[in-house]
Amino acid sequence: MTTAAVLILAFLLDCLFADPANRYHPVVGMGKAIGWLDRRIRFFGRKRGWNEKEEAWKWRCAGMILPLVVVGGVWLLTFFGVQGMKQLHPVAGLLFEAVLVWLTMAPRSLAESGKDIYSALVEKKIGEARRRLSMVVGRDTDSLDEAEIVRGGVETIAENIVDAVISPLFYAALGGAPLAMAYRAVNTLDSMVGYKNETYLHLGWASARMDDLANWIPARVLIPFMLAAFGLLRLSPGLAFQAWRRDARQHPSPNSGIPESLMAGGLQIRLGGVNTYFGKKSFRAYMGKPVQDKKPEHLLKAIRVMWLASGLYLLALSGVCCAIF
């Protein structure tokens, strides 16, 4: 019962207040720790003359320090913090844990980002829509037209259903706020050093693989809830199922292809295609079939799917927690 209460309260806090973006947010502290360790490891390796290509294994081994120290440290700090609050009073411990779990989630912020892009598009402010999209994606947005802006927004909403909602709740149910915070540390590591470029191809390898592993189960648990959401919203659950079976495995990520292909099929649009990163074009496999042209309204539909699938998942997970714990 306590675990379910923590999950529900954390979700309600996000619905009411969104993810508080300020310098005291735990993710900011995680980012500073990751940056500091990254610089120290890189300095150590270069001082010893490690070659990025010929001695890649050394950089990969050194890169394992990042998740071990950051994720382990975050779990320990959170664990002792929660235990300390529980010693003061059980209710204080519950509320503190709920707040910490809330800080690992961001469904409202995700929805607001999508709505901001939608508003700019319907007001015909294409430059503003590009700017708002650039705040939530890594691709170049300067030359995107309306359809490509919609694609970027829908892809971001779909992919982040797992990162911002499903996985944090999943790990909070398994191990409370300490495990949820540890997951957020894994996700932050991936966003900072999990790139396949010259700088982080080897040093960030362990962090990227840990993120893939952490999201593997939650991404697949999401499938029935997204299909149910499409059905309840009278969209296209059948096409969503077909797109998932056909297209998900073509995505470069073992996890992101699942919600993206489901969203593409459910909204009857095609996602994927050519993205530009720092001036270099990169093709990502298509998800779904272009039954409909991409319009700003698809952003709102994606947001509704995100909220409904998340709510259904929360209810189911809370029920399981009540039955088990």
pLDDT digits (tens, 9 = 90+) for 32-90: 999 999 999 988 888 787 876 767 888 888 889 999 999 999 999 999 999 999 999 99
State the pLDDT at residue 57.
Answer: 84
Contact assessment for residue 38 and residue 194, using Cβ atoms and an 8 Å cutoff? no
At 158, is the secondary structure helix, strand, or coil? helix
Both tokens assigned to 279 = 């001036």
Rounded to 5 degrees, what angle do the CA atoms 84, 7, 11 make? 115
At 286, is the secondary structure helix, strand, or coil? strand
Instruction: Dump pLDDT digits (tens) for 274-286.
Output: 999 888 898 999 9
CA dist., res. 70 & res. 41, Å (int): 13
State the pLDDT at residue 47.
Answer: 79
State the pLDDT at residue 211.
Answer: 96
State the pLDDT at residue 58.
Answer: 85
Domain extent, residue 8, equals: 2-324
Number of domains in the chain: 1
State the pLDDT at residue 48.
Answer: 80
Q: Which amino acid is at 27?
A: V
CA dist., res. 180 & res. 174, Å (int): 9
Mark the ranges of the chain whose per-residue pLDDT is less than 70. Answer: 52, 54
CA dist., res. 214 & res. 230, Å (int): 26
State the pLDDT at residue 62.
Answer: 86
Contact assessment for residue 222 and residue 166, using Cβ atoms and an 8 Å cutoff? yes
State the pLDDT at residue 49.
Answer: 76
Both tokens assigned to 275 = 């993205």
Q: Which residue has the tokens 């508003």?
A: 119
pTM above 0.85, yes or no: yes
State the pLDDT at residue 134.
Answer: 96
